[in-house]
Chain A
Amino acid sequence: MLSLAEFQFTLAADLLDGGMRTARLLPGDPVMVKEALRVHRNTVLSGLANALRLGHPTVAWLTGEDFFDQAAHAFSANNPPHTACLTDYGDGFAAFLESYAPASGLPYLADVARFDHAIERCANAGFTAPILLALDRETAVELDASLVTLSAEYPVEQLRDACDSRDADSLEHLDMSPQARNYAIWRGKEGAAMRPLSMPSATFLGAVLRGETADAALAATLAHADPVDALASIRNEIFTAPFVRILSQPHGE
């Protein structure tokens, strides 16, 4: 007698890899078993592709529906979700695209996927307790809890803008040469917000978000940058940003 767990494990595997093992376990009308598997497989894969599409709108726009669906199906077959809440589904989609053979001529796609995923995740983030960062004995700052940093080689910001405005013509004029680009992304008052960062600011903020102290983050930053320029960047790009709230300042300043 087939156990419930055995039935469920077999059917789940069939739906993801296109197998027909369930049909061998279930005597009956072979045409209807095949059709039932097709209906359920289509529901599962199209549901996962739609979840990925919602989380990666620029990738979907740049690649077109058929290419995106094929990539999504290939990804989902080996990376099914672990929760019923699909809003955040797609961790690993960017890395998958880097090695996805049909996308080998689109080297910017993985960067775009990372940017899309970060933007959508911040747009959906709830308001939770901010990250507290002590700067010295008298001064501390709060960082928005949704804040993340992201590095890219390609102009993901402009590609996303083109997607948002459905402006395919602007793509022709983009400088697609690889170069270091860094961003801070967080949940603003009206959806996700983004700010480009210089390398020193990105290094400092990245270290802070990994849990390092302000002193340690600064030391890591200054080890690879001109101190005057780095401190100016951090002050101008981070401590004036909307994602930061300064809690107190030393007297006399």
Chain B
Amino acid sequence: MVRSLHRAAFNAWPISARAGIGLRIPHHARVIQERHVADWLEVHPENYMSAEPAAHDLEMIRKEHALSLHGVGLSLGSADGLCAAHLERLSHLIQRYAPGLISDHLSWSSIEGVHLPDLLPLPYTEEALQVVARNVDHAQTALKRNLLVENPSSYFQLSICSLSEAEFLGELVRRTGCGILLDINNIYVSAKNHGADPLSSLRAYLDAIPATSIDEIHLAGHTVERLEDGRDLRIDDHGSRVSQYVWQLYEATIGTIGARPTLIEWDTDIPDLRVLQAEASKAQAIMDEHWHQEQLYALAS
């Protein structure tokens, strides 16, 4: 079984079911100065693969924080497979930082040697499932670690899909033993862009994906653009606070599957660290409230 084999293979600082924040390079100096700023931090490994000063900063930060590596460059959906050089660079970072979690996206960025810096959509077909499963297996074997795969935000509704995204992810877990990083903001953005009810969409994910495989949750902000025909398009830009609707979906998720490591992501118009910490505190409060409810329920029964 891939999952248990890979989990036993590392000795990293584990990430507990608490709230963390996405660390971006503008905050390095502040985090080093304050020493400890969150229960755990998550970084994009691509920012450290060819940038020794930043990588050196991260070593100091890592001494005080559990760390997750959240990739944007594996291109798990590429029809022509994974880039061996990228996998090697990621492997080197894993050895250097011993992260508690490693993740990337259900998307693609590379084809025929060209890399586009975006998380591009996949058609959810049996062919794509075979490709992604093969690539996830390849990555897990090469990295000797279990990988979490994140549901992306989507703007296209590809008519050639034969599976829903939730079904696709559930089957990917079954075939590869990978974990899932559930991005609640992405579920909301995709549902609204495709005219679906976000809560029903969330339920579909939680029904299709084994709860035990959901090892991390992401929360982020998005923007709304009014199109010429009067419709709204939601864009997953990670540039603002988590919306109230996404918080509601998060509460529903925690109420269903229990507390999970939860990350506040913020990538554009990066605010003061205190803003990120405040957002993380809100997530932590929701997990704490759920824990108290469970204790009361246990006492009452």
Contact = CB atoms under 8 A, between A and B. Distances in A.
B46 A86 contact: yes
Contact of B86 (A39, A48, A83, A124): A83
Nearest to B227: A35
Interface in A117-134: 123-127
Nearest to A36: B155
A84 B83 contact: yes
Nearest to B51: A124
B141 interface: no
Contacts of A39: 155, 233, 235
Interface stretch (B1-9, B109-117, B175-183, B243-251): B109-117
Contact of A36 (B114, B131, B156): B156
A48 B117 contact: yes
A87 B233 contact: no
Given A12-B111, A83-B115, A3 B155 contact: no
A44 B111 CA distance: 14
Given A40-B118, A40-B155, A83-B86, 14 more contacts: A4-B125, A4-B131, A16-B114, A26-B156, A28-B158, A36-B121, A47-B117, A48-B117, A80-B115, A124-B50, A124-B53, A124-B54, A126-B50, A127-B52
Interface string B116-133: 111011110101100100
Interface stretch (B72-80, B272-280, B282-290): B72-80
A141 interface: no
B89 interface: yes
B46 A12 contact: no
A33 B160 CA distance: 14
Interface residues of A, number: 44
Interface of B: 46-47, 49-55, 71-75, 77-80, 83, 85-86, 89, 108-118, 120-123, 125, 127-128, 131, 155-160, 193, 227, 229, 231, 233, 235
B127 A3 contact: yes
Given A1-B160, A26-B158, A8 B117 contact: no
A35 B233 contact: yes
8 contacts: A9-B111, A32-B155, A36-B121, A43-B117, A51-B117, A80-B116, A81-B114, A86-B117
A5 B79 contact: yes
Contacts of B73: 83-85
A82 B117 contact: no
